[in-house]
Amino acid sequence: MTFIALRADAPILPMAIIGGERFWASLTRLRRTPVKIVIGKAFRFSAGQKRAGRAIMGKMTEEGMYQLASLLPPERRGVYSDLDSATEEYLAFLPGSSSNLPGEKGR
């Protein structure tokens, strides 16, 4: 994903669906499943003047995953649960957007 998005200079819009994991349990009791869709801030990957090699693309992917994880409840973030260790070195937020990460609002 990172390689294609970087080459195409495509914007990334992180989205998370929360609540779908309870669908089957609710269905067996004929109950509705509350589902919430959370949309994050749009960004592009940007290597600046650097050549985007394997290491930099790996870092870009990690930064994108932290943006996605910030939309999820803490218990669903997995290996990306420590948002304080996230960086945004290779992310360029679109005008009107800022980081999803705590403490990064208004950047």
**Model pLDDT for residues 54-89, shown as the tens digit of each residue:** 999 999 999 999 999 999 999 999 999 999 999 999
Average pLDDT over residues 25-41: 94
The rounded Cα 41 to chain-centroid distance in angstroms is: 9
**SS3 state at 64:** helix
Chain-centroid distance of CA 80 in Å reads: 10
Task: List strand residue ranges (DSSP E) for 2-105, in order.
Answer: 15-18, 36-39, 43-45, 91-93
Q: What is the pTM of this model?
A: 0.82
DSSP symbol at 23: H
**Per-residue model confidence as pLDDT tens digits over 89-103:** 999 999 877 667 765
Q: Are 88 and 99 contacting, i.e. CB atoms less than 8 angstroms apart?
A: yes
Secondary structure E strands in 1-107: 15-18, 36-39, 43-45, 91-93
